[in-house]
Structures are given as C-alpha cells and as structure tokens.
Amino acid sequence: MSESATSSDLPLKGIRVVEFTHMVMGPTCGLVLADLGAEVIKVEPLAGDSTRRLLGSGAGFYGLFNRNKHSLAVDVKDPRGREIVLKLVAGADVFSENFKAGTMDKLGFGADALQKLNPRLICVSHKGFLPGPYEHRTALDEVVQMMGGLAYMTGPEGRPLRAGSSVNDIMGGMFGAIGVLAALFQRQSTGVGRQVQSALFENNIFLVAQHMMQFAVTGQPAAPMPSRISAWGLYDVFDVGGGEHGGEQIFLAAVSDTQWALLCTEFNWPELQADPRLQSNNLRVQARDWMVPLLRERFAPFTAAELARRFEAVGLPYAPITRPQDLFDDPHLLATGGLAPVTLPADASGAGRPIDTLTALLPLALDGERLPLRQGPPALGEHTQALLQGLGYRDGDIAALREAGVLG
C-alpha cells in the first residue's frame, strides 16, 4: 500500500474480533478480517497455538495465517481468565472459533450465551460439517477431499490424491469471513448480530459442484483430471528442450479458434490451420488422440524459454512449471507488491529465532492498492499487557494474574 495509506483507510477499521482458532480454517477467517483493517485478538492457551510448533507441511501455518493480529495468552479454564475474555467479548463485534462442537459451550463461550451478553455480536463458527448427520465426525481437509470427490478428481484413476494446498481450510475460512461481512452489513439496519457457520465438507462440495453439474448435463461421470476429456483442444503440459538441454516442461494452451489460428501462424503450420478436422475447438477436442501427440513432437525441440517468448508475443496462454519456493523471486509479485517483508517470531519460526522473509498478501486490491501488512504474526502473549490495560486492569492486577498462572 502507498505510504499515505494507513489502517485508518481500511474498510474494517474499528471492528474488533475475538478469535479462538487454530490450524488453518479459523485463522484464515481472522486473517481476511485483519487484513481488511479489523482488530483481531487471537486468544491463545498458555502453551500457545499448536501450529507454532508444527513441522513438515504445517510449518508455514502460523506464519502465514496470523499476521495483523494481537496475541492474548490466557488460561480460559480459570474463572479469572474467562472473565477477561468475556470483558473483551462485551465490547467486540465478532467472535470467531473453529474448535470441536461443544467446546465453546463448555467454556461458557457458546454463541447463544455470548449474544445474550452482547446482542450486537456476530458469532462465526468454522466446523467440519454444517449441522446434519455428519456433524459429529472429526474432519480434516484431507478427510473431506476424500469423501467429497475432490481427491478422486485430482489423482489418476484408482489413486485418489489430495490437492496440493489446504484448499478447503482456506476457502472455508474465506466463506466464514464473507458471512461475517454480510452480517456486519445487515447489523447496520437491524442492530443485532447473527450466527454464521462455515464448514469444510460443504466447501468441498462447492468446489466439485461443477463436476456434479457436468454429470447432470452430459449423463457421463466426470473423469479424474489426469484422464479427463479436456474442454479445450490444446491445454497440456509438454516436455520440451530437446537435445543436451532436455528435461524442461511448460504448460501451453489455445482455448479459442482465434488462439488456434494465432498458434498456427506463429509456428508456420498452415496445414493444421486448414485441416477441416481442426476447424473449431470442439473438433480439436475430438481430435486430441492424434493432434496432441503431433504437437508434442513439434514442440519438443524448442526450449521452454523460446516457447514462452513466442506464446507471450502473440498473446497465447502459457506457464512455466514453478515450485512454491521459486515464487519468492517472481518478478511480477516483486514488482506489484504481492509479497511483503515480514518477521516471524522466534516462538513460531521453527528455528528458535526470528526469521525475516516475504509473505503473500491477499489477492485483491482496493483502488489499486494492496492491503498492507501492518504487523507480523505475534509472539505468544505479545499484546496481553496492552489488552488488559485497555480493559481497565492495573499493572499490579496484571502482575498478580501472571504470578497466578492465568496469563502468559
């Protein structure tokens, strides 16, 4: 964001969110609201959100999904800790949680109880399933991908494969945030909050609904991605770079008749452009069995860089096959501010020390400006003192609560 843009320019300035979340889904909802300018208070147990300590594919969870938030470390099983949270909730706009059904009720933080305390409060709950026969089940992103058809569609025949990102967790959190935004808008006229629910399974069904509709329209089951009948004649990954520099790959596409003509002209293939079997996209789809192998032969001698240059020159779709770590150096992201410098705290870096890196911002802009990173992910309990002071606790009271083990 420009130097003149501050948090006062953000649309959710003045909105306070109390967040009881962990892992990805709930924190994503808070991330969206925080990036839009809300004050998001992440209530953590004294040991901290468990994602601070995850290894492997979970090592990036805390650092990505908890920026622009404040951390309050408190024992909510202690009545004094619960009192602190209830004081926060009394003046909050949103309460967000993604724990197992019944957990918040046992702590005294169920939606009905909190809305009696604060009728304007919007409560958003992120679960595995919306209420129904499955709601008692324990869900994970991979669980709902398997039972919701996404893993079937992603892997080859007989080899269901989860997508390469926490797609349902992230999108489920986004839908939770959308529900919160709708409830905030409606509250302007009603004066009261609502209870918003988002769920992994239902999110996954929304993702695969296009394939459900495909079956309804065609009467034919959708084939998994590796063996699907493509909607486009040319829409494939090609092995290129023949000779001593072989081994490269690139994605190439031509999805309209105009693009097919541009391709044939650029590579001087008049016989393909004139072939009556290839005169429309649907005809090219029907000809893929012989057309794609022919194109593989013709593209194979080129380097990926040469194909990229020529496809870009005439406006044809193409893409390098990029690994996630390569994106730190992506020239477009660097030039457009899509990556922002961030410091990960020592208690969430995996290295036992702060780490300076870059983080991806939300994929949207307001008036041409990206939403700013105002603060990196907080250290555990980093804002406990300031938050309690804001609630009227005196320094001596706070010190006594720390001594009693109520605060971290």
pTM reported for the whole predicted model: 0.92
Q: Check: CB of residue 316 under 8 Å from CB of residue 233.
A: no
Q: What is the pLDDT of residue 247?
A: 81
Distance CA 198, CA 122 (A): 13
pLDDT band, residue 228 (cuts 50/70/90): confident
pLDDT, one tens digit per residue, over 153-170 is 999 999 999 999 999 999
- 93-100 mean pLDDT: 96
Q: Check: CB of residue 21 under 8 Å from CB of residue 71.
A: no
Q: Position 364: which residue type? A: L
Confidence check: pLDDT of 268 > 90: yes
Q: Alpha helix locations (H) across 108-251?
A: 111-117, 141-147, 150-154, 167-190, 200-218
| Phi–psi pair at 395, nearest 5 degrees | -55, -40
Confidence check: pLDDT of 246 > 80: no
Higher-confidence residue of 247 and 139: namely 139
Q: What is the pLDDT of residue 352?
A: 85
Query: What length is written for the chain?
Result: 408
Higher-confidence residue of 374 and 9: namely 374
Confidence check: pLDDT of 340 > 50: yes
pLDDT band, residue 1 (cuts 50/70/90): very low
Helix axes 167-190, 25-35, angle to 10 degrees: 50
What integer best gives the mean pLDDT of the chain? Answer: 94
Q: What is the pLDDT of residue 5?
A: 44
Q: Check: CB of residue 214 under 8 Å from CB of residue 63.
A: no
Distance CA 307, CA 221 (A): 35
Residues near 215 by beta carbon (within 8 Å), at least 6 away in sequence? 221, 222
- 389-408 mean pLDDT: 96
Q: Check: CB of residue 252 under 8 Å from CB of residue 299.
A: yes
pLDDT, one tens digit per residue, over 173-217 is 999 999 999 999 999 999 999 999 999 999 999 999 999 999 999
Domains by residue range for the chain, with CATH:
7-208+328-403 (3.40.50.10540), 230-320 (3.30.1540.10)
